[in-house]
Structure 1
Amino acid sequence: MCRSTQRPELLHANLHRLVEQSEQFNQQKQAHALAVMCPYSQQVFQLLPVLLHYHHPLLPGYVPGGVPVGICNFQPNERQQQFIDELSQQAVNEPLQTAASPEIFGLYSMGSTSSIGQSRESDLDVWVCHSHQMAPERVAWLQQKCLLISKWAEQRQVELNLFLIPDNKFRTDNLASVDGESCGSAQHLLLLDEFYRSHMLIAGKRLVWLFAPPKKLGREYDVFIAEQFANGTLSHDEWLDLGGFARIPAEEYFGSALWQLYKSIDSPYKAVLKTVLMEAYSHEYPDTQLLCRDLKGRFQSANRLDERQDHYMLMLEKVTGYLKSIGDETRLDLVRRCFYLKVCEGEHNDNEHYQWRRTQIKQLTAAWSWSAEKIQLLNNRANWKVEEVKLAYGELLEALMQSYRNLIQFAQRNRISESINPEDIGVLSRKLYVAFENLPGKVQLINLKIAPDLSEPHLSLVQIPEGRSNKAGWYLYKPSPTFKARSERHELEYSPNIAKLVAWAHFNGLLVKQTQLELFNHDSQVSLRHLQEFYGDLARTFAVRTPDPSNLALSRPCEVRQLCVFLNLEQDPTASRQQGPIEFNVNKGDPFSFGRQFENLVGSVDILYRNSWDEIRSMHFNSPMAVVEALTTILGKMHQGATPPESLQVFCYSLSFRSLIRTRFEKLLRECIDLRLAREVGSTIKTLVLGSEEHSIFFERRGVSVQKRETQLAPAQPTHRTLPLADHGDKLVPEIVDVYASEGLMQFFFEGDGQEYNIYILDEANRIETYYQVSGSKEELIQSINRFYTSHQQQEGQSYFAHFNLPQYYDIVQVAGQQKVLPYRTAKED
């Protein structure tokens, strides 16, 4: 009796041909990528394998200690070998070091590199793959080296992002957190899908996945690949397997949508494409046809590298098919324009490797029946000004939010929870809220890298009084020959007060040092000279751009970082005193209650501040109570546990007594800030006389309030005193909760780590609710609260991005016998 033996299934019938083909295609991709790069980018790209293969004090990224070195199968090319030889000559006393057994499995670029979407300004995202068994301290050393290499690249104006990827990353739970360019828990298998469809081998092992049969999915894929290694078809010395997957879990789409919305802040055109792609994927759920599998099939059946294997072209093809299937011609046109603008960035190179890009773009625009005028408008993006940018901004946000809403509805239909962790939801949502939510006092930034330069040579500021057809306030225009012609044109921006309008023009780049201003005033006391002074003070105090806020800052209540006060810009009581003699008496010299008539010499107060979330906020006060209203409002933005502003400046534009008014107001403001942030137990009352009226300002743990008191006319003598804390009925609330109470957002404080815990909830107005001995999962509670916010607030008529102002969550902990408040972290990360 003969025993039948089943021959093991081959990885691929034409494996040898595919290996040769992949090497050929990879060389072509590298040539395409290098052709688009600037010289510094070429240098970084070429030298990166050398920097990670060797370790030497003369090399960028050197870190003392046992840093992992050596890239598997690294064979330097001619340029790399020349660099190595030159370095070896300099390092005669300390030869170049690498490892006998290389510890880095491979370097792989991902993203737009080598695709039609790559431009000279594109960043370089590279995965550095290593064994999951590498000791944590050695991973930390390698991470430090990668950070130093990225800084070296940054000095050459090249954005290089190196991501350490253990070989089992996609076979385990995703415990990462959002950090800079890392999507953290926002994406997991969707990230692997993007990597597989866009990767290019720089140095190291070949990826098994590209050569495996397309129908091998999930568990079947893992078993099959294990057999290939076991039977000798594959060798671990030459091949790396990051895993396969049957489908994308539905739980990932919400986090991915948040991540792409966040990326739109810096890359709006690409983000629109990727967000609609997520929507298309969810539309096909559960039988999603992933682009990475489509590309694998095309690679294995191809005999040459062409546009059918370009992952940007595949993405366009996918979203086009989806939008056509649902009849959305509006977004289809926008997607095409986004694609065109993305692939045409920096399209000015005559290199022969650009020819295939130009050919593809020409074929696409012909297929779309675009007019020459439409193409010319898009080609002229470098010269777009605020009108074009505002239009594009509105279109981009509408498209992004439509995809986001559709993905939220997808999650609700399938009754799924999100896989992204609460901390990452909080950080990403806060970034979106800061970038896009348009609040009454917020200076909104509209140029999401849509156009390079919005500066204007001339700008007009026009005041419209009450009783006209237009809303009363200030309007910003480009100059016209006549006032009538100007009023018939659409304004660039409107604001009820001039300070916010000038701030908007400054932070959006319209108003620069060279801009000529003209002023059409009606009933305010602003003069062109004072307006120019104000802009100069503003521009010297506030940089247009500052570093992005940290994740830690976004997980805490916002704090005032830069604070500027501008006095008497629009209303100046001293101007009316110019008709008669100016009388000054040292005993009646308080500018808040000045002279025999007890005049308040502050007519208007404008406040501009930048907070720790990097928002710019503006406030205007012009009533007789302007001083008190301004003080209580800005103090309300400071919770008791906040740090004082890093900078505080006061400017005054009065015709008379400038220094007196400015100095007095600044002294009062600093005193009030000190009282607000003091940790004294009890309430403090400060007395302030405005004109002939006396006011009491109450400083309490949870806020500041004011009360007018009847008083005899007398020289103003501001005082303050501390009162014992009244029993206001919530004495069981820990004092630390009041210290962190912050207006404008919901705050949840958890006390206790056992099966039961207490919850203290502060609403936007700092009203408190308490719940004792609550049982159940904190994480599930937070997820349900966030889900409620994301799915319901839009239905109440709020703006698109209002629902990104999610609550903040904190743990009350004991440290060295004292209570402290820390941002909430999920238990799985502890």
Structure 2
Amino acid sequence: MRDTIATLLEKANQTNQHRKQLALQTMPAAVQQVFELLPSMLHYSHPCIPGFIEGDVPSGVCQFAPSARHGIYLQQHFLCSPEEPEHCEILGLYSMGSTATVGQTESSDLDIWVCHNTDLAPERVALLAEKCEQISSWAAHQGVELNFFMVQENQFKTGSISELSKDNCGSAQHLLLLDEFYRTALPLAGKQLVWFAVPSDLEQSYDSFVQQQFELGVFNHEQWLDLGGLDTIPAEEYFGSGLWQLYKGIDSPYKAVLKTMLMEAYSADYPKPSLLAVEAKRLMQQGKEFGLEQDAYYLMLNKVTQYLESIEDYARLDLVRRCFYLKNCECSPLPSDLLDVRSLTWQQRFMAKLVKQWEWSQQKIEHLNLRRAWKVQDVRLAHSELLDALMLSYRNLIRFARRNDISESINPEDIGILSRKLYAAFESLPGKVTLINPQISPDLSEANLSFIHVGKGRSCAEGWYLYKQPLTGLEIVGQPPLEHATYISKLLAWSYFNQLKTDQTQLSLHTHPGDLNLDTLNQFAEDLRRAFPVNVDAASNLALTRPCEIRHLGVFINLEKDPTANWGGKVIEFDAISTDVFSFGRDSDCLVGSVDLVYRNTWNEIRTLHFSGDSAVVDALTTILGKMHRDANIPEHIDVFCYSENLPEQIGANFKQLLVESIKSRLQPLDKRIVKTIVLGNEKYGLFIEDRGVSVKKLENGVEFYRQLSNNKLQRLPLQLNAGNTKKVPNVVEAHASEGLVQYFFENLTTGFNIYIVDEHNRIEMYQDFEGSKEELVQGINRFYTSSREQYGTRHEVVNFNLPQFYDIVAVDGQWQVESYRSS
């Protein structure tokens, strides 16, 4: 067996050396330099070398013997010749992902696993991670995206979980991550990986075989690193992995479609899936020369192809092939005629072979090659196809889990964070601005955008229509609209945040005689641009564990309806000292005819709303305040713009004052109910602000006012499911009640716990003295909500990402607070 293992190791090393040469061929000079210098930068700890930090930072990469070339690199680039470290504490450095695969492009990032001993002190691991962050920052200045992942030697054997982040899947996938690592791993420096030297037909007995070889001295811990085997993948991982790939699909949809369908294909083989890493190892150990059939990305494509052909889903198969082409030919598209393959790169030759097998037409290749020039129609079609495919794969994984009575291995914190990221990105809601261009095309800008209003009684729906053709000439005749909405602010916000509207775009407007004109529309567009940046930092995990809050609020007054527009030639009598724009002049007119809201929340959703008519002011206020739980933060920015022909500054200032006062009333601690009366025109309204929400009522007289107080008092009593006990709902629960979400609050008792459930309308139910597993309860609730909106038998089922939020009620310094629930 010693000779067999030596032979298998030699084959693995030969294959990896060949793959490394292919990887270097594809890399631009800057990436090559970073790639070659990585082992030295982690091996040494020297002030002249990027990444150096003070402290007891682990250094020394096992089995790494710097070559003369490495020494020249260090001398040339950093002017130093560092001494060898006394100890080697880094077990190995291995790249993974697209590097050295057909999926590698000139813009590909580098994903590096930094493997370390289990007994390395946590504070020293933190120092090593900090050093890696410093190296990543240095690489970024060279134009290279470099990601490091800290990996404990035994984390895949013990199930250790890293914190969820943009690039780290946390508990979402575990052994499936190891499967991806093994099929794409390229050793850079460090110990030999045991897995590659174990015969592929012994995968089911991997642990016992490896233990035996260590006992016999064939393997030793000085030269070999064992991350674990792939004898079986727990079915529980499929749900979390599917959720993770959907999350990655927000920014990289083409790759995510492939990987999500791979999870679906794996689940179809359950309970004994044929893992791609094992297949890649089998081909390598057969001694075949490295080619397309051994490429990790091709193996993934082939696995998905076989699965889709088996279920006769040829529509998704065509999409998968297009995704594969677009992902892999992003920087180097194939020439459409494919006549001279000698001038192609090695990846292009691989792709040319596949395209011929698929019998693609020249026109199809040309269309895909022009992706960087795609505009809104092509991008919207692509986005819809990608989203449908991702959701179908995800639903199939959910059904697989339910058929097999599988609990999720992903922990509740991670499933909550991921589901909210997906909710913010994918959930389609009235008034929400859907972002349609997740890195599909670099430029959706249009030279012209036309807004056309259609009134009642026409053949098409009433409202506003957006076109990309100018109104002059005949270009627009017979063209389909890009978008429709009942109010114009939604259309302009959609075109702005999807970057169709730029500073160079010419706007056109066609509407029936009214208050909105082209100058006002252009001013609104400019105000929107000044108030809201298109790109902002991603929502933090902390924000996603909390109810969403309004972060940036834009209020646009009298955009569509301006009560002052008809003042021309009239004598308007009013008191200039005590002007009340809500009940103005002799006739007590309300000078606010319409209110449009655009806001970005802490989950990075863009929402729009429109209110018009006599109650527009109170309707807008009630809606804004209703989206703030009592312990929410005040929005970071509140911008108010007014487009009135007369008194715009006064109207805007008065509205902002009323808005800010109302927000402060909503967010201040409440010992008693707050009632705010607002006079609009000749009508009086009561704004009732309570712990759990805000309501409004037109007040006809004093009797009506006190009747409403009584009604509100009755309505705020919580529903007690345990009728024999009248325990009061804790104030901290009411303070965190957030409209539009289902929230579960757990109050621990000596034995068991109380449960307070707040629904989407801030109604509260109570379960007292619940005994059982909190963990199982949370998982069961998540499974119920995940599948509760499915309608079997259709291809366009709805996926529910608005999963409940879970909290523990805890005492901190004598004060009751809520914390996001964490599994034990």
Q: What is the TM-score with the length of structure 2 in the denominator? A: 0.94
1:534 counterpart = 2:524 = yes
Deviation at 1:416, TM superposition (A): 1.2
Deviation at 1:230, TM superposition (A): 2.7
Q: Distance in 2 between matches of 1:87 and 1:39?
A: 14
Q: Structure 1 residues 632, 413: closer, same or farther in 2, change over 3 A?
A: same
Deviation at 1:246, TM superposition (A): 1.4
1:103 counterpart = 2:89 = yes
* DSSP 3-state at the match of 1:448: coil
1:745 counterpart = 2:723 = no
Map 1:759-774 onto structure 2 (within 5 A): 759-774=755-770
Moved more, 584-593 or 293-302: 584-593
1:153 counterpart = 2:139 = yes
Are the equivalent residues in 1 in contact too, given 2:757–2:766 (CA < 8 A)?
Answer: yes
Q: Distance in 1 between matches of 2:749 and 2:116?
A: 36
What's the C-alpha RMSD, in Å, of the aligned pairs?
2.3
Q: Structure 1 residues 167, 360: closer, same or farther in 2, change over 3 A?
A: same
Match of 2:620 in 1: 630
What letter matches 1:633 in structure 2? Answer: T
Deviation at 1:485, TM superposition (A): 5.6
Moved more, 758-767 or 340-349: 340-349
* DSSP 3-state at the match of 1:749: strand
Q: Distance in 2 between matches of 1:48 and 1:515?
A: 46
What letter matches 2:510 in structure 1? Answer: F
**Any unmatched runs of 5+ in structure 2?**
336-340, 703-708, 719-726
Are the equivalent residues in 1 in contact too, given 2:391–2:799 (CA < 8 A)?
Answer: no
Match of 2:317 in 1: 332
What letter matches 1:815 in structure 2? Answer: V
1:245 counterpart = 2:230 = yes
Match of 1:823 in 2: 820
Deviation at 1:412, TM superposition (A): 1.4
Match of 2:454 in 1: 464
* DSSP 3-state at the match of 1:128: strand
What letter matches 2:250 in structure 1? Answer: I
| 1:203 paired residue among 180, 184, 189 | 189
Moved more, 578-587 or 339-348: 578-587
Are the equivalent residues in 2 in contact too, given 1:639–1:742 (CA < 8 A)?
Answer: yes
Q: What is the TM-score with the length of structure 1 in the denominator? A: 0.93
Are the equivalent residues in 1 in contact too, given 2:308–2:314 (CA < 8 A)?
Answer: yes
1:81 counterpart = 2:71 = yes
* DSSP 3-state at the match of 1:466: coil
Map 1:194-273 onto structure 2 (within 5 A): 194-218=180-204, 220-273=205-258
Q: Distance in 2 between matches of 1:659 and 1:601?
A: 12
Q: Structure 1 residues 512, 801: closer, same or farther in 2, change over 3 A?
A: farther
What letter matches 1:239 in structure 2? Answer: W
What letter matches 2:559 in structure 1? Answer: L
Deviations 1:22-68 (A, max 9, x none): 33332332222223223332232222212111112222222211110
Deviation at 1:348, TM superposition (A): 6.2
What letter matches 1:141 in structure 2? Answer: L
Match of 1:608 in 2: 598
Q: Distance in 1 between matches of 2:814 and 2:343?
A: 67
What letter matches 1:774 in structure 2? Answer: F
Moved more, 256-265 or 796-805: 796-805
Moved more, 139-148 or 531-540: 139-148
Q: Distance in 2 between matches of 1:97 and 1:68?
A: 15
Q: Structure 1 residues 798, 748: closer, same or farther in 2, change over 3 A?
A: farther
Are the equivalent residues in 1 in contact too, given 2:49–2:78 (CA < 8 A)?
Answer: no
Deviation at 1:481, TM superposition (A): 6.5
Q: Structure 1 residues 221, 381: closer, same or farther in 2, change over 3 A?
A: same
Match of 1:696 in 2: 686
What letter matches 2:801 in structure 1? Answer: F
Match of 1:474 in 2: 464
Q: Structure 1 residues 11, 771: closer, same or farther in 2, change over 3 A?
A: farther
Q: Structure 1 residues 457, 272: closer, same or farther in 2, change over 3 A?
A: same
Deviation at 1:250, TM superposition (A): 0.7
Are the equivalent residues in 1 in contact too, given 2:562–2:644 (CA < 8 A)?
Answer: yes
Moved more, 477-486 or 146-155: 477-486
Deviations 1:636-677 (A, max 9, x none): 001000010001110011111010101000110000000000
Match of 1:734 in 2: 730
Q: Distance in 2 between matches of 1:804 and 1:36?
A: 39
Q: Distance in 2 between matches of 1:39 and 1:690?
A: 68
Q: Distance in 1 between matches of 2:207 and 2:342?
A: 42
Map 1:500-515 onto structure 2 (within 5 A): 500-515=490-505
Moved more, 131-140 or 485-494: 485-494
Moved more, 67-76 or 424-433: 67-76
| 1:66 paired residue among 25, 43, 56 | 56
Q: Distance in 2 between matches of 1:521 and 1:209?
A: 69
Deviations 1:118-139 (A, max 9, x none): 1122221110001111111211
Deviation at 1:487, TM superposition (A): 5.1
Q: Distance in 1 between matches of 2:165 and 2:607?
A: 26
Deviation at 1:686, TM superposition (A): 1.1
* DSSP 3-state at the match of 1:575: coil
Q: Structure 1 residues 98, 469: closer, same or farther in 2, change over 3 A?
A: farther
| 1:120 paired residue among 77, 101, 106 | 106
Map 1:363-512 onto structure 2 (within 5 A): 363-479=353-469, 486=476, 488-512=478-502
Equivalent residues, number: 803
What letter matches 2:817 in structure 1? Answer: K
Are the equivalent residues in 1 in contact too, given 2:41–2:49 (CA < 8 A)?
Answer: yes
Deviations 1:542-588 (A, max 9, x none): 11111111111111100111011000111011101123234442266
Map 1:586-735 onto structure 2 (within 5 A): 586=576, 589-710=579-700, 728-730=716-718, 732-735=728-731
What letter matches 2:314 in structure 1? Answer: E
* DSSP 3-state at the match of 1:803: coil
Deviation at 1:152, TM superposition (A): 2.3
Deviation at 1:458, TM superposition (A): 1.1
Q: Distance in 1 between matches of 2:125 and 2:22?
A: 32
Match of 2:705 in 1: none
Q: Distance in 1 between matches of 2:383 and 2:306?
A: 25
Are the equivalent residues in 2 in contact too, given 1:811–1:823 (CA < 8 A)?
Answer: yes
1:775 counterpart = 2:771 = yes
**Any unmatched runs of 5+ in structure 1?**
1-9, 713-721
Q: Structure 1 residues 381, 145: closer, same or farther in 2, change over 3 A?
A: same
What letter matches 2:116 in structure 1? Answer: H
What letter matches 2:610 in structure 1? Answer: H
Q: Distance in 2 between matches of 1:306 and 1:755?
A: 62
Match of 1:790 in 2: 786
Q: Structure 1 residues 823, 238: closer, same or farther in 2, change over 3 A?
A: same
Are the equivalent residues in 2 in contact too, given 1:437–1:801 (CA < 8 A)?
Answer: no
1:554 counterpart = 2:549 = no
1:296 counterpart = 2:293 = no
Are the equivalent residues in 1 in contact too, given 2:175–2:233 (CA < 8 A)?
Answer: yes
* DSSP 3-state at the match of 1:72: coil
Q: Distance in 1 between matches of 2:279 and 2:592?
A: 69
* DSSP 3-state at the match of 2:817: strand
Are the equivalent residues in 1 in contact too, given 2:48–2:79 (CA < 8 A)?
Answer: no
Are the equivalent residues in 2 in contact too, given 1:567–1:652 (CA < 8 A)?
Answer: yes
Are the equivalent residues in 1 in contact too, given 2:333–2:369 (CA < 8 A)?
Answer: no
Q: Distance in 2 between matches of 1:483 and 1:622?
A: 34
Q: Distance in 2 between matches of 1:598 and 1:156?
A: 65
Q: Distance in 2 between matches of 1:307 and 1:22?
A: 16
Match of 2:159 in 1: 173
What letter matches 2:93 in structure 1? Answer: L
Q: Structure 1 residues 445, 96: closer, same or farther in 2, change over 3 A?
A: same
Are the equivalent residues in 2 in contact too, given 1:758–1:774 (CA < 8 A)?
Answer: yes
* DSSP 3-state at the match of 1:430: helix
Q: Distance in 2 between matches of 1:463 and 1:817?
A: 59
Match of 1:132 in 2: 118
Q: Distance in 2 between matches of 1:800 and 1:12?
A: 56
Match of 2:801 in 1: 804
* DSSP 3-state at the match of 1:593: coil
Deviations 1:74-100 (A, max 9, x none): 23345532232347755xxxx735532
What letter matches 2:168 in structure 1? Answer: S
